[in-house]
Amino acid sequence: MSIAEDFTPALLARAEGAPLDPPPQYAQLRREAPITRVSMWGGRVRPWLITRWEDARAVLGSPAVSSDSTRPGFPSSTAGAAAMPPGYFFAHDDPAHDLFRRALTREFMVKRIEALREPTTQIFERLLDGMVGSSTSADFVEAVALPLPSLVICELLGVPYEDHDFFQSHSADLISTAATGAEKAAAHQALGDYLERLVHDRRRAPKDDLVSRLAAHVDAGTFSVRDAADVGAFLLFAGHETTANMIGLGVLALLEHPDQLRSLYAGKAELANAVEELLRYLTIAHTGLSRVATEDITIGHVTIRAGDGVIVMLNSANRDAGVFSDADELDLARSNARQHVAFGYGIHQCLGQPLARMELQIVLPGVFARLPGLRIEAGRKVEFKQTSAAYGPSVMSVTW
């Protein structure tokens, strides 16, 4: 069955034996039907699928698309989806979206993120010490990739050190593939309640941290305590699993491309560029970005009508040979790697990208510098999250 006839989540899964590549059907769509209607969930929803880079940017950059999943026509597995709380601003349009995005813009500016470089390096070294200290093999995902981003988000928000374990263990439950629905709901509730208490504390006694600045917005009447706590929870949701997956998958991609890893050490590829290329090549947001048109939009020869759903496949756009030569090759020295759309495009483009970049620039070279013999443990398979919105390894047993 072709993608157009049945675009089920199963088809989104990566091809057997090629876990770093998107399904091969996308290459055919880019050539033959780059903007095409697909059938989802038994034909109940028929969004447009966008597979080329240029069209992806045109759709995501258009003011005539909405991210509001409650609008009729929005591609969603359940009809009549409930609205996300305002603090989860990725699911809202301007001006509601802009209110929160603006409140956070300064938090992700270079100077603030640079201030997190040293604490992030220390967190990384500590986690690596823990991994190598007690054994000769370990699950890299559990030991390093998963805890690191949530501990960095603790630093970003200003969660006190003594609460890091609480924060980290509940955020791990939130994205664990082993946790039940009830366990995830309990973790969500516990983190929400915790963040609400933290906002209250910071209103009474402000510090120099992100939660205190959100608390100041509450005092100024910009938004409520609940909204401020939701923003904190959303940052965790947006920045934890994504970065964890990118760390795990990035390490795996470098292990599978030893020539590229060597090029990094020989100085033939610059670190920042290498990270961009890994983001392009791996595109962990592999289920695409969903939108609904609010007005008619013409892209190329196709008119997407107001009310039509759209899914923009970032993983396909990032393998578009019209933009990236030898697009299916990992080339850490690629000159235009930064043109990728792994962080999306347009008004919702990833706010946390400077933080994600900084974490990857520390961890990826750091792991190999410390453990030059790092490899996947013989006889152990890497397991992947196939259906999750952010693709990556769920278990990756390594030895060194």
From 119-127, 175-183, 236-244, 317-325, give the range in contact with ligand HEM by CB under 6 A: 236-244
Contact 4, 11 (CB under 8 A): no
Segment contacting ligand HEM by CB under 6 A, of 2-10, 199-207, 234-242, 326-334 = 234-242
Nearer to ligand HEM, 90 or 166 (CB): 90
Tell me which residue has its CB nearest to ligand HEM: 352
Which candidate, 225, 337, 212, places its Cα nearest to that of 282? 337
With binding defined as CB under 6 A, does residue 238 bind ligand HEM? yes
Minimum CB distance to ligand HEM smaller for 37 or for 112 = 112
- HEC string of the chain equals CCCCCCCCHHHHCCCCCCCCCCCCHHHHHHHHCCEEECCEHHHCECCEEECCHHHHHHHHCCCCEECCCCCCCCCCCCCCCCCCCCCCHHHCCCCHHHHHHHHHHHHHCHHHHHHCHHHHHHHHHHHHHHHHHCCCEEEHHHHHHCHHHHHHHHHHHCCCHHHHHHHHHHHHHHHCCCCCHHHHHHHHHHHHHHHHHHHHHHHHCCCCCHHHHHHHHHHCCCCCHHHHHHHHHHHHHHHCHHHHHHHHHHHHHHHHCHHHHHHHHCCCCCHHHHHHHHHHHHCCCCCCEEEEECCCEEECCEEECCCCEEEECHHHHCCCCCCCCCCCCCCCCCCCHHHCCCCCCCCCCCCCHHHHHHHHHHHHHHHHHHCCCCEECCCCCCEECCCCCCCCEEECEEEC
123 counts as binding ligand HEM under rule CB under 6 A: no
Does 348 help bind ligand HEM (rule: CB under 6 A)? Answer: yes
From 51, 171, 242, 287, residue interacting with ligand HEM (rule: CB under 6 A):
242
Nearer to ligand HEM, 339 or 399 (CB): 339
231 close to 97: Cβ distance less than 8 angstroms:
no
Closest CA to 355 of 69, 187, 153, 216: 153
Q: Does 342 bind ligand HEM (CB under 6 A)?
A: yes
Residue 95: is the preceding peptide bond cis (ω within 30°)?
yes
User: At CB < 8 A and 24+ separation, what contacts does 80-84 make?
Assistant: none
State the minimum distance, in angstroms, from the CB of residue 63 to ligand HEM: 14
Q: How far is the CB of 35 from ligand HEM (least distance, A)?
A: 18
- Using CB under 6 A as the binding rule, whether residue 146 contacts ligand HEM is answered as no
Judged by CB under 6 A, does residue 343 bind ligand HEM?
A: yes
Residue with token string 């609010």? 294
Q: Exactly one of 254, 299, 332, 351 binds ligand HEM (CB under 6 A); which one?
A: 351
Tell which one of 47, 232, 309, 344 touches ligand HEM (CB under 6 A).
344
Min dist. Cβ of residue 68 to ligand HEM (A): 11
Shortest Cβ 169–ligand HEM spacing (Å): 19
Using the contact rule CB under 6 A, the part of the chain among 15-23, 208-216, 220-228, 339-347 near ligand HEM is 339-347
Residue in 50, 264, 355, 367 binding ligand HEM, rule: CB under 6 A? 355
- Which of 89, 124, 223, 384 binds ligand HEM (CB under 6 A)? It is 89
Residue 386 near residue 362, CB atoms below 8 Å: no
Report the residue from 4, 6, 14, 90 that binds ligand HEM according to the rule CB under 6 A. Answer: 90
Select the residue interacting with ligand HEM from 29, 157, 350, 398 (CB under 6 A). Answer: 350
Among 254, 289, 311, 332, binds ligand HEM (CB under 6 A): 289
Which residues from 265-284 bind ligand HEM, rule CB under 6 A? Answer: 284
Query: How many residues lie near ligand HEM (CB under 6 A)?
Result: 24
Q: Per rule CB under 6 A, is residue 153 in the interface with ligand HEM? A: yes
Interacting span for ligand HEM (CB under 6 A) from 135-143, 184-192, 233-241, 391-399: 233-241
Considering only residues 96 to 115 of the shown chain, the ones binding ligand HEM according to CB under 6 A are 97, 101
Residues that bind ligand HEM (CB under 6 A): 67, 89-90, 97, 101, 153, 235, 238-239, 242-243, 246, 284-285, 289, 342-344, 348, 350-352, 355-356
